[in-house]
Amino acid sequence: MEKTVIAIDASGGDNAPTSVIGGVALAIDDKSIAADILLVGDSEIIERELEKANISKTAVSILHAPDIITPDEVPTTAVRRKKQSSIVVGTKAVKEGTASAFVSAGSTGALLSAATVYIGRAEGIERPALGVMLPNRSGFTLLIDCGANVDCKPAYLAQFAQMGSDYMSKIRGIKAPTVGLINIGTESEKGNTLVKEAYPLLEQAGVNFIGNVEAREVPLGKVDVAVCDAFVGNVLLKYTEGLATGLMGVIKDELLADPISKIGALLAKRGFKRVRKRFNHDDVGGAPFLGLKSLVVKAHGSSNANAIYGAIRQCDYFNKANVN
Amino acid sequence: MEKTVIAIDASGGDNAPTSVIGGVALAIDDKSIAADILLVGDSEIIERELEKANISKTAVSILHAPDIITPDEVPTTAVRRKKQSSIVVGTKAVKEGTASAFVSAGSTGALLSAATVYIGRAEGIERPALGVMLPNRSGFTLLIDCGANVDCKPAYLAQFAQMGSDYMSKIRGIKAPTVGLINIGTESEKGNTLVKEAYPLLEQAGVNFIGNVEAREVPLGKVDVAVCDAFVGNVLLKYTEGLATGLMGVIKDELLADPISKIGALLAKRGFKRVRKRFNHDDVGGAPFLGLKSLVVKAHGSSNANAIYGAIRQCDYFNKANVN
């Protein structure tokens, strides 16, 4: 098998470049990863960081991209103007075949915009979408779209269902993944205009559509793929963070409020550590932008080395699955 | 002060009539409640339940309504056809001045439909909305709309802001309640078409509008009133239930998975009990339908006696506040 190349944005994310180089170091040490690494960013900074991390210059390639697009810039404008940004240079490397996948912890909007312009949409897909792995009681649900499509046509939702189903079966190895349409009730006539019109399209989308799902059923693991527009998806995603933090805060407050419970909480430390581990997204490996001609993975803005490593592993796995 | 009358749907909800009569018994014992109780439902069943609960027939009034609208009926059709249902008879009692407020744990859609038809909208309000009290780390946030308006015009959202703000200041005693528009980012240009067009209207709505809020900030108590369309509101509401249940399930699984943590969990029992109490909605007293000429409170379908009692207290408080 020919070696594939994974391009990685060295400048994107709150902890770049240190976290990115740290993730690359973990990937280099992992002999199961078949791909070569191409770091995209300011070459001088990258070289300095590689040296600090004791990584030989021959272990990776570097693609110089001195500019950075920040998350507060208007995505389309930034992508048009900053041709030397790591996001534009990285997606172009995929377009030109220098790399087969691109990982970035930078601006979500700019990444999607650059990927759509340079890499292009897969056949039959009108809008690429961001799929996020939400932990549920027994595994993960792919919530799609959490990205840029905040105003959707019904047909987009049917395409999200297809993209999500495809991903979960190919990459996660789930046979006939169950697909649900997020709605306020389970009956087919429930919901707003968008989901009511999308429902029959999902029935004909060639996926294992099990109908509407209420949002309460998602954390309980009712479906493998949960479909919604990006406004709902993004709200749910952020709410998950807030609610988990809020709930854990209340538990902490109350367990420390009387001395016996406090001793109990101390004794249960190992159990709580396992709880945190189950809700730790680092191993998930970022969120795939689906519906593009090649794989682009959005890592969380606050990614640490382990999260970047997870994203690289995901690309490697995707490359291998696609070859087979 | 003249005595007011609160009408209560004796037939609505999963645990009716027992839970309803139980809630009424608690209200009768509570001498701080100034209102009289009017039970609406099948009079024969009500009389039997009153006897079982040892409530004197003279302590309450009864309005005979032999029919029941079930939650799976199409609301508008059911309201039009079942004139003898507890929901229609109860809202009519408010319209005719027999009662000043109505509490029901029955079908949300039918209750809203009947209330709009018989009680009517308050001046300047195009669509009544359901406000739900979500517990946050320090108190409660009113999430509005969680009801029937799944496809909204921007102007509706501005009216929800006004109704919610008004309620939180009058009934909850919060001065200049903070109002946020639920969005996927805090900048004013973020979001889908609906929220982008609603933003300037909320700025001019005469409320303490603090701008967009990300859903993650709601459980942390960032705002007193969180505004959204009913699709988003209902999805969030149900997701809250699912996520809290899922998270508590994971905590339980992991704390019981090793013997030391298990002992810790047992010792922390009192603390966990307080956690559950903080997330117990019973005392909140149901969800008010705002924007009507009179107060209508939707109690949760699974309400127990304590939840019904809370809803009665809320109506009583509202009556007193309105008089002053």
B7, B103 contact by CB (below 8 A)? yes
Tokens of A317: 């796995």
Tokens of B64: 């005979």
Contact yes or no for B232 and A231 at CB 8 A: yes
* % chain A with pLDDT above 90: 73
Amino acid at A304: N
Nearest CB among A234, A262, A271 relative to B258 is that of: A271
Q: In Å, how far is B149's CA from the nearest CA of chain A? A: 8
Nearest CB among B72, B271, B274 relative to A264 is that of: B271
Contact yes or no for A217 and B242 at CB 8 A: yes
Nearest CB among B72, B191, B244 relative to A247 is that of: B244
- Chain B environment of A230 (Cβ under 8 Å): 184
* % chain A with pLDDT above 70: 97
3-state SS assignment for residue A143 = strand
With a cut of 60, say whether residue B318 has pLDDT above it: yes
Nearest CB among B251, B254, B267 relative to A263 is that of: B267
Please write the tens of the pLDDT for every residue from B3-55.
789 999 999 889 899 999 999 999 999 999 989 999 999 999 999 999 999 99
pLDDT at B282: 63
Helix H or strand E segment including B40: strand B36-41
Give dist(CA B305, CA B309) in Å, integer: 6
Q: Would you place residue B283 in the very low, low, confident or very high pLDDT band (cuts 50, 70, 90)?
A: low
Closest-CA residue of B relative to A274 is: B254
Q: Would you place residue B172 in the very low, low, confident or very high pLDDT band (cuts 50, 70, 90)?
A: confident
Q: Measuring CA to CA, which residue among A248, A142, A143 is closest to residue B248?
A: A248
pLDDT at B2: 59
> What is the average pLDDT across A76-102?
96
- Chain A environment of B256 (Cβ under 8 Å): 271
pLDDT at A302: 86
pLDDT at B34: 85
Contact yes or no for B150 and A184 at CB 8 A: yes
Mean pLDDT of chain B: 92
> What is the average pLDDT across B63-79?
93
Q: Would you place residue A137 in the very low, low, confident or very high pLDDT band (cuts 50, 70, 90)?
A: confident
> What is the average pLDDT across A206-231?
95
pLDDT at A2: 59
Closest-CA residue of A relative to B150 is: A192
The runs of H, that is alpha helices, within chain A are: 18-29, 43-52, 75-81, 86-95, 108-114, 154-170, 193-203, 230-255, 259-267, 269-278, 305-323
> What is the average pLDDT across B158-162?
97
- Chain B environment of A245 (Cβ under 8 Å): 216, 219-220
Q: In Å, how far is B175's CA from the nearest CA of chain A? A: 24
Give dist(CA A222, CA A141) in Å, integer: 8
| Sequential DSSP letters for B73-87 | S-HHHHHHH-TTBHH
B210, B178 contact by CB (below 8 A)? yes
Which of B54-63, B184-193, B198-207 has the highest mean predicted lDDT (pLDDT)? B198-207
Q: In Å, how far is B185's CA from the nearest CA of chain A? A: 9
* % chain B with pLDDT above 70: 97
Contact yes or no for B238 and A269 at CB 8 A: no
Q: In Å, how far is A14's CA from the nearest CA of chain B? A: 17
A297, A316 contact by CB (below 8 A)? no
Please write the tens of the pLDDT for every residue from A31-50.
999 899 999 999 999 999 99
- Chain B environment of A231 (Cβ under 8 Å): 184, 191-192, 195, 232
Q: In Å, how far is A195's CA from the nearest CA of chain B? A: 10
B76, B114 contact by CB (below 8 A)? no
A313, A33 contact by CB (below 8 A)? yes
B233, B144 contact by CB (below 8 A)? yes
Q: Measuring CA to CA, which residue among A108, A101, A103 is closest to residue A233?
A: A108
Please write the tens of the pLDDT for every residue from B119-140.
999 998 999 999 998 888 778 8
pLDDT at A324: 41
Q: In Å, how far is B268's CA from the nearest CA of chain A? A: 4
* % chain B with pLDDT above 90: 73
Contact yes or no for B247 and A244 at CB 8 A: yes
- Chain B environment of A269 (Cβ under 8 Å): 261, 264
> What is the average pLDDT across A283-303?
88
Q: Would you place residue B86 in the very low, low, confident or very high pLDDT band (cuts 50, 70, 90)?
A: very high
**Do β-strands A225-227 and A295-298 pair in parallel, antiparallel, or remain unpaired?**
unpaired
Give dist(CA A227, CA A164) in Å, integer: 8
pLDDT at A143: 96
Please write the tens of the pLDDT for every residue from A167-205.
999 888 899 999 999 999 888 888 999 999 999 999 999
Give dist(CA A100, CA A274) in Å, integer: 35
Nearest CB among B151, B230, B235 relative to A182 is that of: B235
With a cut of 90, say whether residue A72 has pLDDT above it: no
Amino acid at A14: D
Q: Would you place residue B1 in the very low, low, confident or very high pLDDT band (cuts 50, 70, 90)?
A: very low
If one compares A241 and B215, the residue with the highest pLDDT of the two is B215
Closest-CA residue of B relative to A234 is: B184
